[in-house]
Amino acid sequence: MNYSKILNPFTYIAGTKTLLWGLAGILITSIFACFGPIHLDGVLDIHIGLNNYSTAGWSLQQNLIFLSEGVINWITISGVLYISSVILSKSKVRIVDVLGTQAFARLPLFLSVFIGAFTPLEKASAYFLHEFANMGNEVDINPFQLGLFILFMLSTIISIVWMVIWMYKAYAISANLKGTKAIVSFIVSILLSEIITKTVIFFLVSK
């Protein structure tokens, strides 16, 4: 098995091919996120939709919020990384490579969201809140549901770590950057994108 393809697929694919795969992934992940309900409310965020983020009811507007979260995250990180590439790279950076590889790098999120779609997330969250923080009412939950929730939590960590590795590899290849320059600019871009996406999505949801 070729592990380098898993660790860094962007040596082999980029541009339009990754853009199409990535966009399909963002769309499908958003659809499954509706079932969670899971909010991807930030460039590196996976949150269970509770209370004020409740998705009770299936209005078109609410479903559009789920979809737009994925798109906002992707557009923001791609935009910030593209600007960073243009400033720092001596190579000619193509925007289609940045957009495509960053979209593709978000595919691992599907793993967590898919498992979350079949997990009683709100029930399990309420159970943990009652058990460990003494908040809310007592919740009856069976071991299978509990196991599924733990699996969801583990898959969330794996998905995020995997996605960040791919995001970095995508950036390094698209912008032809290496070493400290690449790592520092990537971290700054992530922090900046996190602030932008959090703010934009907060205003969108609170409307």
Partner 1 sequence: MIEKILPVNCPACHAKLKIKRLGCTNCDTEINGDFDFPVLARFEKKEQDFVLSFVKHSGSLKEMAKEMNLSYPTVRNLLDKIIVRIKEMEI
Binding site for partner 1 (CB under 8 A): 10-15, 90-92, 94, 97, 101, 173-174, 176
Minimum distance between the CB of residue 13 and partner 1, rounded to whole angstroms?
Answer: 5
Using CA atoms, how far apart are residues 40 and 48, in angstroms rounded to an integer? 9
The burial of 41, by beta-carbon neighbours within 10 Å (0-12 exposed, 13-18 middle, 19 or more buried), is given as buried
CB 176, CB 89: distance < 8 Å: yes
Radius of gyration of the chain (CA): 18
Q: Give the nearer residue to partner 1 in terms of CB position, either 54 or 91.
A: 91
Q: Give the nearer residue to partner 1 in terms of CB position, either 14 or 115.
A: 14
Minimum distance between the CB of residue 91 and partner 1, rounded to whole angstroms?
Answer: 5
Minimum distance between the CB of residue 94 and partner 1, rounded to whole angstroms?
Answer: 7
Q: Give the nearer residue to partner 1 in terms of CB position, either 97 or 194.
A: 97
Minimum distance between the CB of residue 188 and partner 1, rounded to whole angstroms?
Answer: 21
Give me the DSSP letters along 39-82: E--STT--EE--GGG---S--HHHHHHHHHHHHHHHHHHHHHHH
Q: Give the nearer residue to partner 1 in terms of CB position, either 20 or 191.
A: 20
